């Protein structure tokens, strides 16, 4: 039998965008189930606070390391893998979670907007995976889980997201390509595709009052009748990262309240 999906003892994981939202939730869950975790983001003080919160729930002492850096720079992905090896001895799991999101009309998008989405989401995932995969090959395999998006497969008029959607579609394509290229090294590559998940990312383009008043109105877009929360996404990520998913690679798992299945009446 496979071990429980909740057993990550002797596992070393890297989580990008690990200081808030889905990244913080999955980092906390991994550490709580025995993993050593390296978290990445741009804000060192925020990372340090997150590390304290993760360690407070961790199963083992000295379970968290942090690396502040821009994930869109290829060197950051390489540095993450090196830090994981130096502190914890290996890289077994990578969660490519870092992202940015702010709905904007296609006709108003600038080159800078486009580059930000592409650099953080697509390029960041690409080179973080490259650094992790090189380390995984050294130790005989591993698992990469990319956080994609429902928006990669479905356009939503209320949230114009052309550049974001294109970047996330790149992550879905990357998932399938890396699954094929890395299978021979014992590295599985999968993705989750969430719909609206209530995380701090929405505070980047809405006021606190707007988040409180507007965000719940998106609940009806989901056939299951509500927005997601990070705790809805974490179990899917843990499953794909675990040996329970040992015969799954190249899959993009919708975790979206039913959005991709169809529209509610």
As annotated, the active-site residues are 164
C-alpha 86/C-alpha 223 separation (Å) is: 46
Please report, for residues 90, 109, 116, 201, the alpha-carbon distance to residue 113 in angstroms, rounded to integers and kept in the order given.
36, 6, 5, 16
Q: Are 130 and 136 in contact (CB under 8 A)?
A: no
For tokens 């006021």, name the residue: 207
Nearest residue to 194 (alpha-carbon basis) of 21, 9, 4, 35: 21
Q: Are 204 and 211 in contact (CB under 8 A)?
A: no
Q: SS3 of 118, please?
A: helix
Q: Is the dihedral of CA 168, 170, 173, 175 positive or negative?
A: negative
Listing DSSP states for 163-223 in one string gives: HHHHHHHHHHHHHHHHHHHHGGGTEEEEEEEE--B-SGGGGGTS-HHHHHHHGGGGGGGST
C-alpha 62/C-alpha 42 separation (Å) is: 22
């Amino acid at each position: 039998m496979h071990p429980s999906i909740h057993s990550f003892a002797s596992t070393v994981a890297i989580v990008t965008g690990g200081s808030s939202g889905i990244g913080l939730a999955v980092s906390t869950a991994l550490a709580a189930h025995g993993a050593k975790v390296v978290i990445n983001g741009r804000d060192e003080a925020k990372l340090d606070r997150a590390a304290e919160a993760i360690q407070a729930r961790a199963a083992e002492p000295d379970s968290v390391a942090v690396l502040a850096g821009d994930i869109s720079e290829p060197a950051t992905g390489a540095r993450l893998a090196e830090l994981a090896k130096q502190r914890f001895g290996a890289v077994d799991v990578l969660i490519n979670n870092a992202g940015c999101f702010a709905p904007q009309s296609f006709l108003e998008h600038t080159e800078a907007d486009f580059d930000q989405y592409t650099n953080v989401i697509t390029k960041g995932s690409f080179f973080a995976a490259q650094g992790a995969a090189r380390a995984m090959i050294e130790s005989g395999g591993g698992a990469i889980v990319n956080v994609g998006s429902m928006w990669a497969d479905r356009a939503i008029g209320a949230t114009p997201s052309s550049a974001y959607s294109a970047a996330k579609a790149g992550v879905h394509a990357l998932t399938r390509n890396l699954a094929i290229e890395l299978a021979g090294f014992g590295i599985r590559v999968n993705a989750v595709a969430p719909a609206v998940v209530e995380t701090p990312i929405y505070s980047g383009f809405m006021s606190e009052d707007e988040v409180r008043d507007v965000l719940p109105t998106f609940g009806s877009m989901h056939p299951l009748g509500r927005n997601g929360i990070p705790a809805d996404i974490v179990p899917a990520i843990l499953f794909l990262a675990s040996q329970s998913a040992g015969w799954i690679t190249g899959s993009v798992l919708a975790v979206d309240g039913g959005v991709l299945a169809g529209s509610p009446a």
